[in-house]
């Protein structure tokens, strides 16, 4: 644009020079034929013609006019907006809300799914994901797309598309010893990890080839841990730290600002081969040495593209390499995806986020639509005021295209102002939201994507709300408008009908959003009132990292026994042990029931290992039989307590007590005898009962969690921490209240309901403004008619009723449209409703009532104005 402008400026100067040249030559000729110089110059100028006109004409030839018209339209638009600040403020604010909420959601989306890592050359860092198809069996630790060490080495050695590759794995259970043991997050990495991510060291060095080839106890600290635990000790390099009972020498501290590749910054990095030493606490089926395990996925892999290589070229080559590897596993087909590493790179979770995100984007899109419909209504109402002005300009010879251009320039100015304000609002909201999200690495500052999105949205909005009013306003109806018969001219009635249609649309959209919110709230209320079947209040779960501290079964048993005894004695409470914490995890095994039809098949069934007191502590009611005795639990006798649902599933109509079933994996089946039946609980999802479930006595070989219920309601976190610390200061103790677990379980639902309420409320507020505006317009249009009716003796209440009926008609049409739409949407997404019935009558009724009331109120306010009409004035001037 600027260059074009400069070009125009240059052409202007050239033309001046050409004209001067012509005048000079011509005058020269005249002088030569005997004229005086002054007379010659004057004659030449006269003969030449009107210089200004010629310049104008020439400029038009280069398209200079387009720019001039634009500047003129912009000036004109600015003047119009200044003249009606009420309209301008309403329109800009409405659009700002619409664009703002869209931009905010898009920002989150963009950050999570599209923005490259905030490191050097982030966009060229690719993640490598494998998806297996065909017949295959594979073990994994992490997610199914992860690589085995062998696979990573093959890709690394044979690819020609990446300049460097690195693999890494997160370690979940890592305890840093000290005066107060602390859980730290660690990442095992290959040698080139820091190289690929372009991260330097603040102190010391990163890992050497030897350290990443064979197990060496060395570590690189993250900035946060270095500052927090070691007070930014400048001499930290060379010192040792104790992790899970092993000593590690610190060789470096990562540069500040490096936040790893995921949602949270790792505290510490360790070389990959060290894996067996820090992951000793895994239950038996997992291999001891992950690096040696074949066909075992546990590594995330990243690579930096060589210059001029694209992601799809890289993918093609890796697919070729994967096909070669598949030769060793008949029937298996590996599909490799290579895509830029983002905040959320796991392809499965990314797909889930994309689906959920699209739903949310659709909802916020509807809000913007409502905002646009509103502004369109405002423009239509304003069109009455401008009808004369437009008609005068049309009859003076302005073309329709020229007027359209001007009106659209006006709406674009409004839209861009609204968009800019919306972007600012979105940034404010996101900055607030970021502090609440608790995700440290979430960077929600606007990038080019977000800016482009906001701009695009604003321009689309300006067309959405500006085009129809512009077309309407410039429809020539000169005679009527000039004679000021606007209010009875046919197309005015039509215009208010168009306004009514927009209101219907807004109301329909409000219906869908509010009913969605209503259903979510209903589901949420259900969850809160719901009895999960086990006690939640005053219950605490304490997890201990005994295996990481090299406790064997004998020592673990003793530790748990001592801990439970001391907690119970000191706090006057009851404690028990459990393998799985309700609402925090699930465990399932195959089950075969003796004497059943299909006795050879294993049916996947949920299970838990618990100590004898578990049912008492959590208040899980016994229906039949008995629970474990302490002796049975201690010996690990082959007995089981089953849930009511399991009893119903296998022994319906008979007593389940004394029956036997087998459980485990084929070849390693254990037998258990049913000694009791307990009530069904909801330990996995609050929305539904667990289904068939059985409990077996806990063995101290597997990690167990202590569950404690305080009778007094006194918080127990401190007491439990202190007692455990007295028993062994090296053990990491984490105490969580069950209420907090419950809160976490319902957090996404609460977030969803909150968002839906917010959007529904926003749409409703916008629609109310729209209804208000259209009714006010209606009243101002009908002043004459109202005057006539009043003069003929109509009661004020009659007039009010008539206006309200007119105003509410589009609202009712909108609801008639919106209710079935909402029902359809609810039925289609019933799985997201937290167990609320998709056609829940209370939600539908409440929303319908609420919407009607708000709409009635929004139209009542301007309708009152009709009552103040003075019949005489209305008849004379209306």
Q: Which residues pair with 128 in a beta bridge?
A: 301, 338
Extended strands (E) in 669-765: 670-678, 693-697, 705-709, 733-737
Is the CA virtual torsion 29, 32, 38, 43 positive or negative? negative
Judged by beta carbon, residue 26 or residue 153, the one nearer another protein is 26
CB of 57 to another protein, least distance (A): 4
CB of 15 to another protein, least distance (A): 7
Q: Give yes or no for a contact between 250 and 236, defined as CB atoms under 8 angstroms apart.
A: yes
CB of 13 to another protein, least distance (A): 11
CB of 455 to another protein, least distance (A): 31
Tell which residue, 774, 782, 777, has the closest CA to residue 875: 782
Judged by beta carbon, residue 14 or residue 673, the one nearer another protein is 14
CB of 84 to another protein, least distance (A): 40
Residue 569: exposed, middle, or buried by beta-carbon count in 10 A (0-12, 13-18, 19+)?
exposed
CB of 409 to another protein, least distance (A): 25
**Alpha helices, H only, 284-399:** 311-326, 347-395
Judged by beta carbon, residue 51 or residue 488, the one nearer another protein is 51
Q: CA-to-CA distance for 833 and 606, rounded, in angstroms?
A: 24
Judged by beta carbon, residue 51 or residue 828, the one nearer another protein is 51
Judged by beta carbon, residue 13 or residue 483, the one nearer another protein is 13
Judged by beta carbon, residue 13 or residue 133, the one nearer another protein is 13
Judged by beta carbon, residue 45 or residue 239, the one nearer another protein is 45
CB of 21 to another protein, least distance (A): 5
Judged by beta carbon, residue 47 or residue 570, the one nearer another protein is 47
CB of 56 to another protein, least distance (A): 8
Among left, alpha and beta (phi > 0; psi -120 to 50; other), residue 222 is beta
Judged by beta carbon, residue 20 or residue 827, the one nearer another protein is 20
CB of 402 to another protein, least distance (A): 21
3-state secondary structure of 303: strand
Give how far Cα 579 sits from Cα of 170, 286, 650, Å. 23, 17, 25
Q: CA-to-CA distance for 442 and 343, rounded, in angstroms?
A: 8
CB of 18 to another protein, least distance (A): 5
Among left, alpha and beta (phi > 0; psi -120 to 50; other), residue 198 is left
Start-to-end Cα distance in the chain: 49
Judged by beta carbon, residue 50 or residue 83, the one nearer another protein is 50
Tell which residue, 559, 553, 557, has the closest CA to residue 731: 559
DSSP 686-728: TTB---SEEEEE--TTS--EEEEE-SS----HHHHHHHHHHH-
Q: Which residue has the tokens 């926003």?
A: 762
Running DSSP on this structure, what letter comes out for residue 608? E
Q: Give yes or no for a contact between 413 and 92, defined as CB atoms under 8 angstroms apart.
A: no
CB of 345 to another protein, least distance (A): 52
Judged by beta carbon, residue 16 or residue 594, the one nearer another protein is 16
Q: Give yes or no for a contact between 204 and 251, defined as CB atoms under 8 angstroms apart.
A: yes
Around Cβ 845, how many Cβ atoms within 10 Å?
Answer: 11
Give how far Cα 289 sits from Cα of 135, 285, 617, 654, Å. 26, 12, 39, 48
Is the CA virtual torsion 426, 428, 431, 435 positive or negative? negative
Contact residues toward another protein (CB under 8 A) are 11, 14-15, 17-19, 21-22, 24-26, 28, 30, 33, 47-51, 53-54, 57-58, 60-63
CB of 22 to another protein, least distance (A): 4
CB of 48 to another protein, least distance (A): 5
The set of residues, in sequence order, having a beta carbon less than 8 Å from that of 197 and lying 6+ positions away, is 117, 119, 120, 125, 166, 258, 261, 302
Judged by beta carbon, residue 31 or residue 353, the one nearer another protein is 31
Judged by beta carbon, residue 39 or residue 665, the one nearer another protein is 39
Q: CA-to-CA distance for 64 and 288, rounded, in angstroms?
A: 77
DSSP 131-168: EEEES---EESS-TTPBPHHHHHHHHHH-SSEEEEEEE
Judged by beta carbon, residue 4 or residue 428, the one nearer another protein is 4
> To 5 degrees, how large is the angle CA 840–CA 842–CA 844?
70
Q: Which residue has the tokens 């066909």?
A: 295
CB of 517 to another protein, least distance (A): 58
Q: Which residue has the tokens 């028993």?
A: 727
Running DSSP on this structure, what letter comes out for residue 290? T
Q: Which residues pair with 737 in a beta bridge?
A: 540
CB of 370 to another protein, least distance (A): 46
Q: CA-to-CA distance for 27 and 329, rounded, in angstroms?
A: 96
Judged by beta carbon, residue 60 or residue 570, the one nearer another protein is 60
């Amino acid at each position: 644009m600027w260059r074009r402008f400069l070009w125009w400026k240059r052409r202007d100067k050239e033309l001046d020079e050409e004209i001067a040249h012509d005048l000079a030559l011509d005058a020269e000729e005249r002088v030569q034929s005997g004229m005086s110089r002054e007379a010659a110059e004057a004659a030449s100028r006269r003969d030449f013609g009107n210089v200004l006109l010629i310049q104008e004409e020439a400029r038009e030839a280069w398209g200079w006019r387009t720019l001039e018209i634009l500047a003129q339209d912009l000036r004109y638009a600015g003047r119009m907006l200044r003249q009606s600040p009420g309209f301008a403020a309403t329109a800009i604010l409405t659009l700002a809300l619409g664009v703002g909420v869209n931009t905010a959601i898009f920002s989150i989306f963009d950050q999570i799914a599209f923005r490259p890592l905030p490191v050097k050359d982030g966009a060229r860092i690719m993640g490598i994901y494998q998806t297996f198809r065909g017949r295959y069996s594979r073990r994994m630790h992490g997610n199914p797309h992860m690589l085995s060490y062998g696979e990573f080495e093959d890709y690394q050695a044979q690819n020609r598309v990446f300049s460097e590759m690195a693999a890494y794995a997160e370690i979940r259970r890592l305890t840093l010893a000290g005066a107060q043991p602390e859980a730290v997050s660690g990442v095992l990495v290959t040698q080139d990890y820091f190289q690929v991510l372009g991260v330097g060291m603040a102190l010391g060095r990163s890992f050497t080839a030897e350290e990443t080839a064979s197990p060496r106890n060395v570590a690189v600290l993250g900035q946060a841990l270095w500052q927090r635990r070691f007070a930014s000790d400048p001499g930290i390099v060379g010192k040792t730290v104790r992790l899970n009972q092993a000593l590690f020498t610190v060789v470096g501290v990562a540069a500040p600002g490096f936040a790893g590749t995921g949602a949270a910054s790792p505290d510490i990095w360790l070389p990959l081969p060290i894996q067996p030493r820090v992951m000793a606490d895994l239950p038996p089926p997992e291999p001891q040495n992950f690096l040696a395990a074949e066909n075992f996925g546990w590594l995330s892999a990243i690579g930096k593209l060589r210059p001029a290589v694209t992601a799809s070229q890289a993918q093609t080559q890796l697919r070729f390499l994967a096909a070669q590897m598949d030769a060793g596993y008949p029937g298996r087909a590996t599909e490799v995806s290579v895509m830029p590493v983002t905040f959320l790179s796991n392809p499965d979770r990314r797909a889930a986020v994309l689906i959920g995100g699209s739903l949310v984007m659709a909802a916020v899109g509807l809000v913007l639509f409502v905002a646009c419909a509103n502004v369109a209504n405002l423009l239509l109402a304003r069109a009455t005021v401008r009808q004369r002005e437009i008609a005068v300009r049309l009859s003076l010879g302005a073309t329709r295209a020229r007027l359209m251009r001007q009106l659209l320039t006006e709406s674009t100015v409004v839209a861009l102002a609204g968009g800019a304000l919306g972007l600012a609002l979105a940034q404010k909201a996101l900055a607030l939201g970021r502090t609440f999200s608790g995700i440290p690495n979430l960077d929600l500052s606007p990038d080019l994507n977000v800016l482009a999105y906001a701009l695009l949205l604003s321009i689309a909005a300006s067309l959405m709300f500006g085009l129809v009013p512009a077309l309407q306003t410039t429809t020539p109806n000169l005679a009527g408008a000039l004679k000021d018969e606007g209010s009875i001219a046919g197309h005015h009635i039509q215009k208010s009908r168009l306004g009514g249609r927009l209101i219907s649309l807004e109301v329909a959209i409000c219906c869908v959003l509010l009913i969605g919110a209503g259903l979510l709230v209903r589901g949420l209320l259900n969850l809160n009132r719901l009895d999960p079947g086990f006690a939640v209040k005053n219950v605490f779960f304490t997890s201990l990292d005994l295996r990481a501290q090299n406790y064997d079964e004998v020592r673990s048993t003793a530790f748990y026994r001592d801990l439970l005894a001391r907690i119970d004695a000191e706090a006057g409470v009851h404690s028990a042990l459990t393998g799985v914490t309700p609402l925090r995890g699930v465990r399932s095994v195959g089950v075969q029931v003796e004497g059943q039809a299909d006795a050879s098949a294993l049916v996947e069934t949920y299970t838990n290992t618990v100590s004898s007191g578990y049912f008492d502590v959590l208040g899980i009611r016994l229906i039949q039989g008995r629970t474990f005795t302490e002796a049975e639990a201690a010996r690990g006798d082959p007995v089981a307590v089953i849930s009511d649902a399991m009893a119903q599933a296998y022994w319906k109509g008979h007593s389940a007590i004394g029956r036997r079933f087998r459980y485990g994996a084929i070849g390693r089946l254990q037998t258990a005898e049913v000694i009791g039946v307990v009530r069904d609980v909801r330990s996995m999802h609050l929305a539904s009962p667990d289904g068939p479930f059985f409990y077996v006595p806990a063995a101290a070989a597997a990690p167990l969690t202590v569950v404690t219920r305080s009778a007094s309601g006194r918080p127990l976190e401190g007491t439990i921490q202190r007692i455990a610390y007295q028993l062994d200061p090296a053990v990491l103790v984490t105490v969580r209240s069950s209420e907090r677990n419950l809160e976490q379980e319902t957090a996404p639902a609460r977030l969803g309901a909150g968002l839906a309420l917010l959007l529904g409320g926003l749409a409703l507020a916008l629609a109310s403004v729209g209804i208000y505006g259209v009714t006010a317009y209606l009243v101002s249009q009908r002043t004459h008619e109202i005057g006539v009716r009043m003069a003929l003796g109509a009661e004020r209440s009659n007039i009010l009723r008539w206006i309200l009926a007119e105003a509410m008609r589009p609202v009712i049409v909108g609801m008639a449209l919106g209710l079935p739409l909402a029902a359809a949407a609810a039925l289609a997404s019933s799985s997201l409703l937290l167990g609320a019935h998709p056609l829940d009558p209370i939600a539908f009724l409440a929303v319908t009532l609420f919407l009607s009331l708000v709409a009635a109120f929004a139209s009542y306010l301007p309708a009152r104005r009709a009552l103040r009409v003075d019949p005489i004035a209305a008849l004379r001037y209306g």
